[in-house]
Structure 1
C-alpha cells in the first residue's frame, strides 16, 4: 500500500499509517463529523486504534480490497481528513468511496479535490468500471462534494442509515469510467 500516494494541486492522499492514530481519533470524535456517519464516536483511543489496525492489515495483503488514505495539505503536511475506496466483486469491477474531513476544512474544495483524485485512481490504477457512494439525504455538504466530483444521483433508499438522530434515507451516487 505504501506505493500508493496521490498528489493533487493542494493535497496529498497517502496511505494511512500508525502515526495517524491521534488525528484519526480526533476526527472520529467530532460531533459535526459524526452527524451523518454510521460508525459513531469512539468510546476511547483503543477503539480508534482497532479501526486503524484493521485498515493497516488490509493494506498489507497482496489483494487489497480497501484503500484508506490520510488527506494532507501540501503546504504543511497537516492532516485534514480521510478518504477511502472499497472494492466490490472483481467480476463487476466496482467500488464504493467514502470521505471524512475536519470541519475546519469544509467549504474550501478540499473534499471535492480529494474525491476527484480518488475517482481517477479507481478508474486509471484499479481499472474499475463503476464507483459508487452513498450519503444521508440531509447531508448537503457531501451531496455537493459528490456532484461536483462528477457523480450522478441514481437512487433514493428509504431509512437505510442508522444515524444517532434515527433512521435516515440515503442517496446513492455513481460514476462510470465512461462518464
Structure 2
C-alpha cells in the first residue's frame, strides 16, 4: 500500500484512520479552517464497501506548504468508474493545485485501481471550479445535469459533467511522472 503520490511539486498524502487526527490539526489556523475541517469529515475520510476501499482522500502539499484536499472515489453503481473532487485553501487558489493534482488521481484510478472512467463536475455558477476542470487535460464536457444538486443556498442547481477515459489518460499522460511513495 502507498502513503503518498508525488508529481509536479505536489504531494498528495493519503488520509487514513491512523493519521486523521494529524490531518485535522494541519488544517487548523487558516481563515477557511472551519470549511476545510467540515469538508474533511464529509468527503475525504476513508470509506469501504464489502472490505474494499472506495474513497481515497488526500491532503495536498505544494512544495512544503499545505494547499488543500483531493479525492478519488469509486462509484459502486457504475462498473470501473471513479470520481474526483478537490478543495483548495483560499490563499492557495490560483496556483493550479487542483488541476496539477489530477495526474496523481488519474494514476491511482487507471494504473493502480484499473478503472476505465473518472468523472467530475461542478455547479454551473461555480466558474472557478469550471476553469480548474477545463485546465485538466483529458476531461471532456459530457453535458449538463439539470437541477442535480443542492447549492449552498439550498436551491436545486444544474451541474456540468466532465469525464476522462483510460484511453485518454494513456494518450495524454506520462505515468512515469507520478511517484508512488
CA distance in 2, matches of 1:115, 1:85: 9
* Structure 2 portions without partners, runs of 5+: 169-181
Structure 2 CA distance for aligned equivalents of residues 135 and 120 of structure 1: 22
1:4, distance to aligned residue in structure 2 (A): 3.5
- In the TM superposition, what is the alpha-carbon distance from 1:97 to its structure 2 partner? 0.7
1:178 aligns to what SS in structure 2?
A: helix
- TM-score, normalised to structure 1, is 0.76
In the alignment, the residues of structure 2 paired with residue 168 and residue 91 of structure 1 have an alpha-carbon distance, to the nearest angstrom, of: 23
Structure holding more strand per residue: 2
TM superposition shift of 1:127: 1.0
Per the alignment, residue 22 of structure 2 pairs with 19
Residue equivalent to 1:69: 58
Query: CA offsets per residue over residues 22-62 of structure 1, 9 Å max, x none?
Result: 344655634xx8xxxxxxx85xxxxx78x27x824x37x95
RMSD, aligned α-carbons: 2.8
SS, match of residue 169 in structure 1: strand
Specify the alignment match of 1:38 in structure 2: none
Find 1:55's aligned residue among 45, 50, 72. Answer: 45
**What displacement does 1:68 show?**
0.4
Q: Equivalents in 1 of 2:118, 2:27: separation in Å?
A: 24
2:179 corresponds to 1:176: no
**Residue 165 of structure 2 is aligned to residue 162 of structure 1:** no
Q: In structure 1, how many angstroms separate the alpha carbons of the residues matched to 2:119 and 2:23?
A: 26
Residue correspondences, number: 159
**Which structure 1 segments of 5+ residues have no match?**
34-40, 43-47
Q: Does 1:10 align with 2:9?
A: yes
